[in-house]
Amino acid sequence: MPTNCQPDQNEFDNEERYMTTADIIRKRGFPLEVHQAVTEDGYILELHRIPYGRNGLLPNNRSRPVFLQHGLLWNDHAWMMNPTNSSLAFILADHGYDVWMGNSRGNSNSRKHVSLDPEKEEYWNFTWDEMGRFDIPASIDYILNVTGQDKLSAYIGYSLGCTLFFIGAIDKPKLNNQVEMMIGLGPTASIAHLDNFYRYLGMAVKSYHFLVRMTCTTVLHSNDGFSHNLLKLFCDSGRFAANLCVHLLFQIFGYSQSYYVSALNAIIGHYPDGTSIGAAVQFLQHSNSGESFHHFDYGCHENRKRYGTCTPAHYDLSLVTAPVYLMSGDKDPIAPPKDVQWLATKLGNLKSSTEIESPFTHGDFLWSTRATELVYLPIISLLSTSHLTSSI
């Protein structure tokens, strides 16, 4: 059970729970630019840019942008939920980096399309495969075009944000040359050793997929949906309910021994934030298919039409040739050590794989009181070293 619940000054202030991430950035005293990137298949993605920090320290002419990509069912609130001096997006900005944050198709910031209606089923007909193939390249191309740079200083992904980079780098090889480095936090590809209650749902993934199709369910856990609004009301109803909601969160992400209370108070307003049934089902498929990293499994008949085989085609991770640095937690139930070790043996240009022993869970990358010490400052050091090397 948690032993170091840090009650910062905003412990009982739930204001940010009801704010957009753009409003939170402004409230914290940072400059903000809102951009939109359009994917090849017409999805309109909202990007949030913090061009410099509160100290007014501008990126120098050789400083390249840093791109942050959240995980499954998140939005970019993931990078700013802690107090300002303990949130990665703000730390990077205050260190003089040009910070860009992505939002995956389907979440509340990116629920737009050039022609499809988000209220209709066709909009939600996507999986990881499309998110990686289209969203990540479109976002990176847009950032490089706006900034006039040829590369990002770094792509920093969390959880599914890592998965999508790998897919993008495999499907569109030029992506490998558009980043100085890829930093993966709690990286997922294989999740054969998933260690939370989702593993039981994964055992019944075919039945689950059939059920949601029969009920015409298209979007999973929409942030503005009835069930999520009901959950918000429950979690706000008293101390017991709030503690129960934290317990549920820890059932998914692992039991954190240190966290900011304000971060978990605000999180219910931003997580979960909606995705397609296909993206959720692909997660469950991977939990039930051994150590592997593959396309969506449509069933034998459709697989033959799409991939030429009865089983879904596998991604060749050796084609990820961008320099990759992995950071994982020793008690991470979603990216367990065995799965990260498997991933590390498959990547084409792994530079390092660091396992944090604290203990450290999947959620700790975002809300731990020790995340700055164990994750964020080492990232700053890594970026600084890379910048000095590239400047020589």
Q: How far apart, in Å, are the Cα atoms of 257 and each of 130, 196, 292?
A: 36, 17, 31
- Pairwise CA distance, residues 286 & 193, whole Å: 10
Catalytic residue among 228, 270, 294, 362: 362
**What is the total residue count of the chain?**
392
Question: Which of 104, 159, 328, 353 is an active site residue?
Answer: 159
Known active-site residue 362: yes
Vertex 123: Cα angle to 220 and 130 (nearest 5): 85
HSE (side-chain half, CA atoms, 13 Å) at 299: 7
Coil/strand/helix, residue 356: strand
d(CA 112, CA 133): 18
Q: Phi and psi for 271 in degrees, rounded to 5?
A: -135, 135
Catalytic residue chosen out of the listed positions 332, 339, 353, 368: 332
Q: Among 67, 232, 225, which residue's Cα sits nearest to residue 153?
A: 67
Ramachandran bin of 96, using left for φ above 0, alpha for ψ from -120 to 50, beta for the remaining angles: left
Active site residues: 159, 332, 362
